[in-house]
Amino acid sequence: MKQWLYNIFILGLKELRSLRADPVLLFLIVYIFSFAVYAVATGAKLEVSNASVAYVDLDRSELSGRIIEAILPPEFDRPQEIAASDVDRLMNDSDYVFVLSFPPRFEADVIAGQQPVLQLSVDATAMAQAGNGAVFLQQIITAEVNKFVAGDDSSSSLPIDLIITAQFNPNLQSVWFSSVMQVINNVTILSVLLTGAALIREREHGTIEHLLVMPVLPSEIMLAKIWANGLAIIIGAILSLWLIVQGVLAVPVAGSIPLFIAGSVLYLVSVTGLGILLATFTTSMPQFGLLVMPVLIVMNLLSGSTTPMESIPDWLQTIMQISPSTHFVAFSQAILYRGAGLETVWFDMVIMVLLSLAFFIIALLRFRQTIASSH
């Protein structure tokens, strides 16, 4: 047992030395945890932000002007006026997601109580923004019209006072969410690729055979790869969370950092194990690359880190339970945003341990078999 741990330790050190000697991989690790996180967190927002709006104003009244004035960043870009004849073309070109059309005599009709109709065209192919953006625009319009009619700013036509507070992220800042989720997605990509490639490379260079004639067990080789690559990645991830997410992007972290790191370690063991498992199914890098691509995309896009888990059909949610990313995303959201403790996240942690064990055992069973067959 002592020797077993010792071998895992020194083989892992060897793995770290190999990594240090590969500038391309080091560069990619740095890139993926710094620029890639920053660009995605600040660039792509799922909620309505910067949505492009145009308007056709056949009324040119004070009211239409007020409504347009009220459409403000950050949710919306400053609205652009376009000609009625250009609406179709510009929407076809996807230049605008929303186009508002004020009919002639709009203001006059409002004053006269005629209930004029405002046209709001929405590009429904812009899924993430179309629905919420339309709701927001309607609210803005209603509020402005009401204010205009009442002649003051205080009017409320509701008999109840609905106070909606957003917990854990009061201003609904997407950067809070997407930065951390991007770190998680990148951890997944790197873990699977690095460990899988490390195994395939040893096999292609013949060094794995060399290890196997020595008093070294396959489990030692695999665990060494897991801990060494996992360590490199977790250091990258923690630095990324600390410097990029907390530092540059100023995202507050609610929960216990040690607990989060403990969970990350479990997650890394499971995904690096998955990387090794996938590598045992392939014999060359081209095959590995092709196998890994869809696995990574599914693991990242359906884990709840991009779209809400509830929106995924139940059967697919069930399937996604075998992906460690699903559990890690749930775990991270609970700790980092909601400040939840062990009593909430223990179940996801247990599942990650079980998945790690399952991946590891299957990989171990396949290990000798693949070495023997690679003639």
Partner 1 sequence: MTLGAANQETAQEAAAPVVQLRAVTHRYGATLALEDVDLDIPAGCMAGLIGPDGVGKSTLLALAAGVRRLQSGDIQVLEGDIRDRRHLQDCNYRIAYMPQGLGRNLYPTLTVTENLDFFGRLFAQPQAERQARIADLLQATGLDPFPDRPAGKLSGGMKQKLSLCSALIHDPDLLILDEPTTGVDPLSRQQFWDLIDHIRAQRPTMSVIVATAYMEEAERFDWLAAVSDGKITATGTPEEVRNQAQQPTLEQAFIAMLPESVRAGHQEVVVPPFQPTATGYAVEAKSLTRKFGDFVAVDSVEFKIARGEIFGFLGSNGCGKTTTMKMLTGLLPASSGEALLFGETLDARDMRTRQRVGYMSQSFSLYSELTVRQNLDLHAELYRIPLAERAGRVAQMLQSFELEEDADKRPDALPLGIRQRLQLAVAVIHSPEVLILDEPTSGVDPVARDAFWQHLIGLSRNDGVTIFVSTHFMNEAKRCDRISLMHAGRVLTIGAPQEILEESGAPTLNDAFISYLKQAADESETAAPQGVPQAVDQPDLQAGGSTLVSDVQPAPRRRLFFNLARMWAYTRRETLEILRDPLRLTFAFLGPIILMLTFGYGISFDVEDLPYAVLDQDQSAESRSLLEAFSGSRFFEERDPAYSTAELAARLRAGEIAIAVEIPPDFGRALLRGEEPEVRVAIDAAMPFRAETARGYMQGLALSYIEDQSERTYGSVIDTSYASTETRYRYNQAFKSVFALVPSVIMLMLVLIPAMMSAMGVVREKETGSIANFRSTPVTRSEFLLGKQMPYVVIAMVSFFTLLAMAYWVFQVPVKGSMTALLVGTLFYVVASTGFGVLISTFTKSQVAATFATAVVAIIPAVNFSGLLVPVSSLSGSGRMIGLGFPSAWYQQISVGTFTKELGFAELWQNHIALVGFALFFIAASILALRKQEK
Q: Which of 31, 60, 318, 342 binds partner 1 (CB under 8 A)?
A: 31
By CB under 8 A, tell whether 200 contacts partner 1.
yes
Q: To the nearest whole angstrom, how small is the minimum distance from the Cβ of residue 35 to partner 1?
A: 9
Q: To the nearest whole angstrom, how small is the minimum distance from the Cβ of residue 186 to partner 1?
A: 9
Cβ(82)–Cβ(56) below 8 Å: yes
Burial class (CB in 10 A: 0-12, 13-18, 19+), 175: middle
Q: Which of 109, 246, 253, 370 binds partner 1 (CB under 8 A)?
A: 109
DSSP line for 61-81: -HHHHHHHHH--TTTBPPPEE
Q: Which is nearer to partner 1, 47 or 239 (CB)?
A: 47
The interface with partner 1 within residues 224-253 (CB under 8 A) comprises: none
Q: Which of 69, 207, 252, 354 binds partner 1 (CB under 8 A)?
A: 207
Q: Which of 34, 239, 262, 289 binds partner 1 (CB under 8 A)?
A: 289
The interface with partner 1 within residues 56-75 (CB under 8 A) comprises: none
By CB under 8 A, tell whether 152 contacts partner 1.
no
By CB under 8 A, tell whether 302 contacts partner 1.
yes
Three-class secondary structure of residue 98 per DSSP = strand
The interface with partner 1 within residues 165-184 (CB under 8 A) comprises: 165-170, 172-174, 176-177
Q: To the nearest whole angstrom, how small is the minimum distance from the Cβ of residue 238 to partner 1?
A: 20
Q: Name the residue among 178, 163, 185, 241 with its Cα closest to residue 49.
A: 178
**String marking each residue 268-287 x if it binds partner 1 according to CB under 8 A:** --------------xxxxxx
Q: Which of 93, 151, 154, 258 binds partner 1 (CB under 8 A)?
A: 93
By CB under 8 A, tell whether 364 contacts partner 1.
no
Sequence-distant (6+) residues with CB within 8 A of 344 are 334
Sequence-distant (6+) residues with CB within 8 A of 316 are 302
Cβ(254)–Cβ(163) below 8 Å: no
Consecutive H or E run containing 15? helix 2-20
Q: To the nearest whole angstrom, how small is the minimum distance from the Cβ of residue 182 to partner 1?
A: 8
- Long-range own/partner contacts, residues 341-347 (CB < 8 A, 24 or more apart): 341/255, 341/256, 341/259, 342/259, 345/259, 345/263
By CB under 8 A, tell whether 339 contacts partner 1.
yes
Burial readout 276-306 (b: 16 or more C-beta within 10 A, e: otherwise):
bbbbbebbeeeebeebbeeebeebbebbbbb
Q: Sign of the CA dihedral 10, 16, 22, 24?
A: positive
By CB under 8 A, tell whether 372 contacts partner 1.
yes
CA 201, 202, 208: angle at the middle one, nearest 5? 160
The interface with partner 1 within residues 124-143 (CB under 8 A) comprises: 124-132, 134-139, 141-142
- Binding segment (CB under 8 A) for partner 1, from list 232-240, 259-267, 270-278, 290-298: 290-298
- Binding segment (CB under 8 A) for partner 1, from list 226-234, 237-245, 265-273, 309-317: 309-317
